Amino acid sequence: MPKGSSTYARIYDVVGRIPPGRVATYGQIAKLAGRPGHARQVGYALSALPEDSDVPWHRVINAKGEISPRSFPDENGEQEVRLKAEGVVFDERGRVALSQSGWPEGR
């Protein structure tokens, strides 16, 4: 992500900084990306994420610790499976335990 990085690229960079087995919320990424309060752009940016991107978009979830209903429901369940495969802890409600798998929390 050279200087010519677009705002989206910056978000991808932050997402790529998320450690494995951990998940970050849009607001968290937006803040780290330099756009606090603009979580929308983060979600939109991920929507435009190419398949050949090395960005772990599946580690990005909404502030509720749930997966957002993306235009492609196929990957919705895929994201959940991927997070579990990463070692992310889900609560009894089927949500991600941000208190445990949240980032940069992790305790």
Q: Decide if 39 contacts 57 (C-beta within 8 A).
A: no
Nearest distance from residue 80's CB to DNA, in Å? 12
Nearest distance from residue 64's CB to DNA, in Å? 6
Contacts of 46 (CB under 8 A, 6+ apart): 11, 15, 55, 57, 60
Nearest distance from residue 51's CB to DNA, in Å? 11
Instruction: Report the interface residues with DNA, using CB under 7 A.
Output: 6-8, 25-27, 30, 35, 37-49, 57, 60, 62-64, 68-71, 75
